[in-house]
Amino acid sequence: MHGANAALKTDSEASGPSTADLAVNGTAVTCDRAGVLWLPDSGVLVVSDLHLEKGAAFARRGMMLPPYDTAATLVRLGLAITRYNPRLVISLGDSFHDRSGSAHLPDCYREQLQGLQQGRDWTWIEGNHDPDRPVGLEGSFCSELHVETLVFRHEPAQGSAQGEIAGHLHPAARVVRRGKAVRRPCFASDGKRLLMPAFGSTTGGLELRHPAMRGLFDRNQLVAHLIGKERIYSVAFNRMNG
């Protein structure tokens, strides 16, 4: 399948593109099924909602989760950075699951992150889970950043926000084809703004029909770029069932 109007097949039934190229407010961007956004003209790689040390944050509250989320997330991030070799990485908020996550980051993970930062610029965007500058890590820290015609922030602004790239809501889409439902995390864009999928290995998703999504997109123009196991699927919102 290629394009918003093609039928969705299961991952075992089809192979196809691992990226989707589109424009947001006139800026060329590439949605990669790895869960990252690439700006080819400026050499910028964007990732959102890493939620590093989520397992450790739950453990501090007496709730036990498997402690491997940070390791898995950093491996996937390293693969994306190796692929694109960006001049700048933007981590679009909620990089850590809570405000003490970076301070308690184990040395092995800190060294791994520092290695990924070497030779490039890095910007941490303020998130609602991590409103403070990360401890012991390089990079600038801000609430929003402007690149080309785009503005990068963690939480989407209410109403129309031309050129906004945001995270926070962990968008997902559910598509029904031939009686079978497929639900996947996704990039969501109407050409004016784009919401990023959550990158963290243990993060959930919020469907595009959820009330929290109301007013963010022109639904007649909205396309979900679903992250499949082998490829990316681009499906127009008005062609989704259920």
Measured from the Cβ of residue 113, the count of other Cβ atoms closer than 10 Å reads 24
Give the pLDDT confidence score for residue 53 in this predicted structure.
Answer: 77
pTM over cut 0.85: yes
Q: How do the domains of the chain map onto residue ranges?
A: 19-239
Q: Which CATH number is associated with domain 19-239? A: 3.60.21
Q: What's residue 6's pLDDT?
A: 42
User: Is the pLDDT confidence value at 100 over 90?
Assistant: no
Count of alpha carbons within 13 angstroms of residue 37, beta-carbon side: 30
CA 101/CA 130 separation, integer angstroms: 8
Interval 189-237: pLDDT, tens: 999 999 999 999 777 789 999 999 999 999 999 999 999 989 999 999 9
- Tens digit of pLDDT for each residue in 16-53? 899 999 999 999 999 999 999 999 999 999 999 998 97
| Token pair listed for 223 | 């396309």
Q: Are 2 and 15 in contact (CB under 8 A)?
A: no
pLDDT score for 201 = 76
Q: What is the pLDDT of residues 115-162, one digit of tens each?
A: 999 999 999 999 997 889 999 999 999 999 999 999 999 999 987 789
